[in-house]
Amino acid sequence: MSVHLLLDGVNRSFDGYKAINDLSLAVDKGELRAVIGPNGAGKTTMMDIITGKTRPDSGGVWWNQTVDLTKIDEAGSARLGIGRKFQKPTVFETHSVEENIALSLKAERSVLATLFHRQTEAEAARITELLELVRLEGDRHRPAADLSHGQKQWLEIGMLLAQDPELLLVDEPAAGMTDAETMRTAELLRSLAGKHTVIVVEHDMDFVRALDCRVTVLHQGHVLTEGSLDHVSANPEVIEVYLGR
């Protein structure tokens, strides 16, 4: 298995506070990885660094062992094949549910291509397929602003899938979802692994257990430990900083 994403001794501070501290992490192609850790551990900041939103002060971030992600901006990372679901669900509120998906679909992103774009039948079919998957088929013509918090989470997952990224960065997808929905999300993410590489951040331990994958524990911007969920939850340090709270 080849390493898909590699963080190598990454540092980043904000006003003297080291949000990311010598962070090293390797994720294989097709792997499903859960990242857990207390609030402020730097999980979201890590995703910001991978997607070019935040530049590291030092350290390397490598894509497919060849592309230097620290030199690439947000749009560039998306074009490489990195898709992101945000902690705070952000959908385009004035657009309809369907349009949100349509705009996310993998397609040419240039100004001229979008100016003259006409929706193809294949695209229309894919949109319907995705809407059915995230169970928003009945709401497709409603403005996204009308959706509940949980539905927005689903819409954002649909938008993420529409991009058909190679790597999915999924930040707290289960927040605002019912237990049944949470389990369905875990199932969906598991089904993506293999074909896609997936990194999931989540606080919900039942959800992480359902993912049934390797877990990385982040604390103060550094990897505390890594391994199966049972392995890391037996770690006294992890219990002290996170699980035992």
Ligand X SMILES: Nc1ncnc2c1ncn2[C@@H]1O[C@H](COP(=O)(O)OP(=O)(O)OP(=O)(O)O)[C@@H](O)[C@H]1O
Which residues bind to other proteins, rule: CB under 8 A? 51, 53, 73-75, 77-79, 83-84, 86, 90, 92-95, 99, 102-104, 109-111, 114-117, 119, 159, 163
Residue among 73 and 206 whose Cβ is closer to other proteins = 73
Q: How far apart are CA 173 and CA 113, in angstroms?
A: 32
Among 21, 87, 220, 235, binds Mg ion (CB under 5 A): 87
- Taking the complex as a whole, the smallest distance from the CB of residue 57 to ligand X amounts, in Å, to 13
CB 37, CB 242: distance < 8 Å: yes
CB 229, CB 33: distance < 8 Å: no
112: how many CB neighbours lie within 10 A of its CB? 8
Hey, CA dihedral for 28, 79, 45, 55, is it positive or negative?
A: positive
Question: Is residue 39 part of the contact set for ligand X (CB under 6 A)?
Answer: yes
First CA to last CA distance, the chain: 36
Binding partner of 79, given ligand X, other proteins, Mg ion, none, CB within 5-8 angstroms per partner class = other proteins
Binding partner of 93, given Mg ion, ligand X, other proteins, none, CB within 5-8 angstroms per partner class = other proteins
Binding residues for ligand X restricted to 45-74, rule: CB under 6 A: 45
DSSP state, residue 221? T
- Taking the complex as a whole, the smallest distance from the CB of residue 45 to other proteins amounts, in Å, to 15
Binding partner of 19, given ligand X, Mg ion, other proteins, none, CB within 5-8 angstroms per partner class = ligand X
Q: How far apart are CA 216 and CA 199, in angstroms?
A: 10
Which pair of structure tokens corresponds to residue 212? 């049934």
The amino acid present at 187, given as its one-letter code, is E
Q: Which residues of this protein are in contact with ligand X, per CB under 6 A?
A: 14, 19, 37, 39-45, 87
